Structure 1
Amino acid sequence: MPTYIEEPIMQYVFVPGAWHGGWAWHPVARRVRAAGHGVTALTMPGLSLGEDSGRLRLADAVDFLVDEVERRDLVDVVLVGHSWGGIPVVAAAERLRKRLARLDFFSAFIPRAGESMADAMGPEVGAFLRTSIESAADRTISVDFESFQASLMPGEPEALQRLVFEQLVPQPGGYMLDALESVDVPGLGVPVGYVLAADDRALAAPGAELAARAGVEPVLVPGGHEALLTAPDLVADALLGR
């Protein structure tokens, strides 16, 4: 693990993407902590194995994120969202503005106002998601191995793909179907960064377009959607501005 020059202490709060828990951020978080910063890698409600998640809505994820930051009395916070995690990060940032030092995204979705994750995937995929969620007894949505392999970890050894896939849990349907009423990342008045995996095949829109919604140009790092696991040195360096 690299040793970094001492920097001002910030409190990094990492939010994972769909089907993932805080574990997905651990390799990056350890490197950020080695740089002298505080780290918290959250697992959102319903994304621990065995949890009852059928009634959860997007607002529950946002409330949880805000409550965790306030409960821990964190200041100088850097909120970091990956993939779907960009949605609750955007919403929570509005409520946590006075505690924020920075807002960062890694290959994250930044929605338009009124646009759910399902909407952003296009009419065909969106309809499939809605039908699947509404017909599931627990109102969750899972990802099959072939889709995970092709979109989230293409080109990686199959043994590694299967190891990561086995950690995934069903995503609460409300997280995918609900939308934010308003989105204005540039208007938050805090510094923003967007780190983009150059070979990402899983984003609902081109990474440069998503970064533009945040008012910034993306910083590219090699790798795919799961580069936070496969290239944590590079992702950590990019988040730390190195």
Structure 2
Amino acid sequence: MNFVLVPGAWHGGWSWHPVGQRVRSAGHGAYALTLPGLAMGDDATGLRLADAVDHIVAEVERRDLRDVVLVGHSFAGIPITGAAPRLGGRLAGIAFVSAFVPLRGQSMADAMGPEMGPWIRGTIDASPDGTIGVDFASFRASLMQDEPEHLQRLVYDQLTPQPGGYMLDALDVDGVGTLGVPVKYVLAERDLALAAPGAELAARAGVEPIMVPGTHETLLTHPDEVAKAIL
């Protein structure tokens, strides 16, 4: 199998390296992507959700990968849902890791609810390059709560502002349950960052959640358990 690992909002491929190393040690391929606009020095101006979806598909095709398992963390549940039907016979499975499972026509901003959604849109509109960041207080309270502050700081300092179009655009595709490939939903036990209960999100994908320890950043703090779950 070839596991294509797609990071969540503000994260790059670096966030998947601990899990990816364990996947490789188990004898599989592992490819950690960084979506456009999320590498240091990238110009995020004007990027839309379609650019993220296109990038995933293009990387799979460029590398000529077969037996592909698309793995998405957090926000990346949206672009992997968009990319999956375009991979055809290359696709062998899908795994969501504490990830959003989008409804048709629902953007990330929409999924965050009637209070957070307008704030996200306003913040993006006010940004010179149309991006949105996360402050440290919010990060430590909801994405990596209860972990040591030095570890929170280490992870936070890697983050990059998210292209706003990734948050504002929605997909017009069928759910992953229609693709005829195995689907998994891996849920961190102490995740506080999801816009809906993890069991509800897993149900959208037609599965029961596989529980792993940790917070929303479980892929960094508990890579052994996450790797075992997706394998």
Residues 58-87 of structure 1, C-alpha deviations (whole Å, 9 max, x = no match): 000000000000010000001100000010
* 2: CA distance, partners of 1:202 / 1:15: 18
Is 1:202 the counterpart of 2:202 in the alignment? no
Residues 5-44 of structure 1, C-alpha deviations (whole Å, 9 max, x = no match): xxxxx10100000000000000000000000001100000
* 2: CA distance, partners of 1:53 / 1:25: 21
2:175 match: secondary structure? coil
Partner of 1:3: none
2:98 match: secondary structure? strand
Q: Give the TM-score normalised by structure 2.
A: 0.99
Task: Give the CA deviation at 1:182.
Answer: 2.4
Partner of 2:35: 44
Partner of 1:189: 180
* 1: CA distance, partners of 2:150 / 2:2: 34
Residues 164-205 of structure 1, C-alpha deviations (whole Å, 9 max, x = no match): 000000000000000001231110111101110011000111
1:220 match: secondary structure? strand
Task: Tell me how large the CA RMSD over aligned residues is.
Answer: 0.6
Q: How does 1:95-106 map to 2 (within 5 A)?
A: 95-106=86-97
Residues 26, 41 of structure 1: 8 Å contact kept: yes
* 2: CA distance, partners of 1:77 / 1:33: 14
Q: How does 1:1-242 map to 2 (within 5 A)?
A: 10-240=1-231
The one-letter code of the counterpart of 1:166 is D
Residues 94-129 of structure 1, C-alpha deviations (whole Å, 9 max, x = no match): 101310111111001011000000000001100000
Larger CA deviation: 142-151 vs 178-187:
178-187
Q: Which runs of 5+ in 1 are unaligned?
A: 1-9
Q: Give the TM-score normalised by structure 1.
A: 0.94
